[in-house]
Amino acid sequence: MRLLAALIAVAAHAAEFADSVMPALEKAGCRHCHGAEGVAASTRLRFPEEGAPAARVAAFGDSLARLVDRAQKDRSPLLLKPTNRVAHAGGERIAKGSSEEKALLAWIDTLAALPPARMRAALEYRDNVASEAAQGAAIRRLTHRQYANTVRDLLKEPSDVSSQFPPEDFVDGFKNQYKSQTLSPTVIELYSAMAEKLAANAFRRGDSRKLIPCDYSGANAARCRSQFVASFGRRAFRRPLTSQETARYEALFRSAPSFLDGARAAIEGMLNSPAFLFRMDRAPRPEWKGFAAAARLSYFLWNTMPGDALLDSAAAGELDSAPGVDRAARRMLDHPHAKEALDEFVAQWLRFDRAFGAARERRTFPQFSNELVQAMAEEAKRFAADLAWNDRDFMDLFRSSRGYPNSSLAAVYGVPAPARDHDAVEFPAAQQRAGLLGQALFLTLTSKPEDTAPTSRGLFIREQFLCQRVPPPPANVDNNLAPLAEERPMTNKERLKEHTVNKACSSCHSLIDPLGFALENFDAIGARREKYKILYYPDEHEAKKPKKTVELDLETAGEIAGIKDSRYTGPAELGQVLARSRECQECIVKQVFRYMTGRRESASDEAPIRASWQAFRDSGFRYRELLISLVKSWDAEPRDGRIARAEPDR
């Protein structure tokens, strides 16, 4: 009876939190800042992931005991912070005297009375929380870029076939995430047509591409056929063929009228196979474990298929241990494919697509063009590549005064053109350019057609460089800025002041707008400006010259809410703050982790991510060492013992 009574009490306790307190906290929007990716993720309050099981929600409710003063319950941070009785970056989230506050007060009473054993468990919640395993899938579809790179290396195909497929969606910042890799009927038809075309091209001029590894004349044909199916199949599927697959493709080969026609048929069949279109992250068969490791390494570090040497290492069991993976990865990072893979990561992480889709008001920015945007993208790639492959401090991404413009981009920057396009140049200290924050690509993709967008710039920094999610604006909020009336000219900071006085806006905009204001010395294409210039035209559509020009002073000082010692007076200091902050350093690790694994990190990934950050830091923030640490810690086995089967062709 005592046990039954205890179980009933525990259930009632959990229900009290789930039914009244948790809804109050959710309604207040606390999860947005105190979730895994919120700006307050490092504080004592940490929400479980959305959709967490009831047991974890109940444990989270108990963990709030950390925020309860048992001696003076009315002085508990759990009450004072959300009601803004003490300074709270999020402002008042729970109104004083509301039903939500009453629920919170009742829960504080409950927590203050927890028995010692429950209190110990409550205080250990954050350290011991066990997230469900990040399931992922055992197989991942090749992205369009990976498909193009793979057929380039497999078939020596000279054309870039990725342009033949429809655009891929960005999910969680990248185009290679599990959640985005569905197959539509249109894409399936395109794969089939592409397989036929590529197979036909492979032998259009005989075996000029040297795809047949043996002499196939006369009596040698049968032996060479088997050798071709085995060797080409291993490269196409990134693993040895099964006996059933071997029989299938040899039969397909034999049904053709000539040897090359047979090879063409076998290639087309393999290119249509799921074993080609999808790659293994985990091995559905024990004997394929090394080959799954080879595929993981290759598509992460090279963004293409494994080469023969890596497949041989897999076959020899050399990739079954962390030292073996370390050796293989270091060899791979010296290959040109690794440089191409970094370019692809940078292009997705920094959202080059937004810059390529940008437009500018022609009267204000007559030099803007597609060619200029191409130069911006090339500069960003060369900048990241220099830091990565010359083993520089990768956190200089946010503080370096070096750029890589061509002559057109140098004119935008107001510096002499380099001797050769995209050679390194040093920006004058007076310009206060700080790494990516001072380069035209970032400044362009976070601006509007006619002017800068401080909110967009701040949001990009929060999401891409600090890995913090900012809640979306409330419904029916007017996002339009106050008009630039001729009789009352204002800077963007003045026009955005409404964001700080409107309670519906202030809690989020106080997190992002100040970051954008720090960069107001750079206009919508990245040129330096000392004043905020407003041009008033007599006729918006016809006049070419402004009738009046007004220049206003800019205010660029501020601090990063949620980061200690983060005061800055302008863009250069903002870059320094980001580079030295653990939040930004860990975000680099998280972004690479997401790109590597094809998914957003979960609570169960905290330990390996923290270990990789420590390795990154201890190496002096060398990008190579970050990659090595991540690939060695990549947990290839599902934590719940189950695996999604990637069945071979029958």
Q: What's the one-letter identity of residue 298?
A: S
For residues 183 and 192, give the distance between their C-alpha atoms in angstroms, rounded to a whole number: 13
Q: What's the one-letter identity of residue 253?
A: F
φ/ψ of 409, rounded to 5, equals -70, -35
Q: Examine the pLDDT at 645 and tell me if it is beyond 80.
A: no
Percent of the chain with pLDDT over 70: 86
* 3-class state of residue 534 by DSSP: strand
Q: Examine the pLDDT at 133 and tell me if it is beyond 50.
A: no
* 3-class state of residue 452 by DSSP: strand
Q: Bigger pLDDT: 69 or 440?
A: 440
| Contact of 227 with 241, CB cutoff 8 Å | no
Q: What's the one-letter identity of residue 54?
A: A
pLDDT digits (tens, 9 = 90+) for 276-332: 999 988 888 999 999 999 999 999 999 999 999 999 999 999 999 999 999 999 999
pLDDT bucket at 482, cuts 50 / 70 / 90: low
Percent of the chain with pLDDT over 90: 63
Angle between helices 322-332 and 308-315 (to 10 degrees): 170
* 3-class state of residue 551 by DSSP: strand
The pLDDT of residue 39 is: 62
Closest CA to 109 of 67, 68, 58, 75: 68
* DSSP element (H, E) containing 627: helix 623-633
Closest CA to 523 of 398, 640, 425, 412: 412
The pLDDT of residue 634 is: 85
| Contact of 210 with 155, CB cutoff 8 Å | no
pLDDT digits (tens, 9 = 90+) for 596-623: 999 999 888 999 999 999 999 999 999 9
Buried b (16+ CB within 10 A) or exposed e, 193-202: ebbebbbebb
Q: Examine the pLDDT at 646 and tell me if it is beyond 50.
A: no
Q: Which residues contact 114 (CB under 8 A, 6 or more apart)?
A: 62, 65, 122
Question: What mean pLDDT is predicted for residues 72-81?
Answer: 88
Residue 315 corresponds to which tokens in the numbers above?
């076959």
- β partners of residue 558: 568
For residues 233 and 211, give the distance between their C-alpha atoms in angstroms, rounded to a whole number: 12
φ/ψ of 555, rounded to 5, equals -115, 115
pLDDT digits (tens, 9 = 90+) for 260-271: 999 999 999 999
φ/ψ of 369, rounded to 5, equals -160, 170
Residue with tokens 């870029």: 145
Q: What angle do CA 597, 600, 602 make, to 5 degrees?
A: 105
pLDDT bucket at 478, cuts 50 / 70 / 90: low
Q: What's the one-letter identity of residue 285?
A: R
Q: Bigger pLDDT: 481 or 261?
A: 261
Q: Bigger pLDDT: 133 or 84?
A: 84
Ranges 61-65, 451-455, 573-577: which has the least confidence: 61-65
For residues 248 and 251, give the distance between their C-alpha atoms in angstroms, rounded to a whole number: 5
| Contact of 620 with 249, CB cutoff 8 Å | no
| Class of residue 165 by CB neighbours under 10 A (exposed 0-12, middle 13-18, buried 19+) | middle
Query: Considering all CA atoms of the chain, what is the largest pairwise distance in Å, rounded to the nearest integer?
Result: 95
Residue with tokens 């919170």: 104
Residue 20 corresponds to which tokens in the numbers above?
């009244």
CA 298 vs. chain centroid, Å, equals: 19
Size of the chain in residues: 650
For residues 145 and 166, give the distance between their C-alpha atoms in angstroms, rounded to a whole number: 12
Question: What mean pLDDT is predicted for residues 445-462?
Answer: 96
| Contact of 69 with 481, CB cutoff 8 Å | no
Strands 567-568 and 402-403: unpaired
Residue 227 corresponds to which tokens in the numbers above?
């050798």
First to last CA, the chain: 59
Q: Which residues contact 471 (CB under 8 A, 6 or more apart)?
A: 29, 32, 508
pLDDT bucket at 117, cuts 50 / 70 / 90: low
Closest CA to 144 of 131, 132, 160, 157: 160
Mean per-residue pLDDT of the chain: 87
Phi-psi region at 218: left, alpha or beta (left = phi > 0; alpha = psi -120 to 50): left
Q: Which of 67-76, 137-146, 214-223 has the highest mean pLDDT?
A: 214-223
Closest CA to 144 of 163, 170, 169: 163
Closest CA to 33 of 457, 605, 468, 467: 468
The pLDDT of residue 2 is: 45
The pLDDT of residue 185 is: 84
pLDDT digits (tens, 9 = 90+) for 403-419: 999 999 999 999 999 99
Q: What angle do CA 557, 560, 565 make, to 5 degrees?
A: 90
For residues 363 and 366, give the distance between their C-alpha atoms in angstroms, rounded to a whole number: 6
| Contact of 388 with 623, CB cutoff 8 Å | yes
pLDDT digits (tens, 9 = 90+) for 496-542: 886 666 666 777 788 899 999 999 999 999 999 999 998 877 765 55
pLDDT bucket at 121, cuts 50 / 70 / 90: low
Q: What angle do CA 556, 559, 563 make, to 5 degrees?
A: 155
Helices (H), ranges, 431-581 = 440-445, 454-460, 492-495, 498-501, 503-517, 571-580
* 3-class state of residue 366 by DSSP: coil
- Domain map of the chain by residue range? 2-128, 140-328, 345-580
pLDDT digits (tens, 9 = 90+) for 30-65: 877 777 666 666 566 778 777 666 767 877 888 888
The pLDDT of residue 540 is: 58
* 3-class state of residue 374 by DSSP: helix
| Contact of 120 with 68, CB cutoff 8 Å | no
For residues 296 and 636, give the distance between their C-alpha atoms in angstroms, rounded to a whole number: 9
| Contact of 156 with 203, CB cutoff 8 Å | no
The pLDDT of residue 245 is: 96
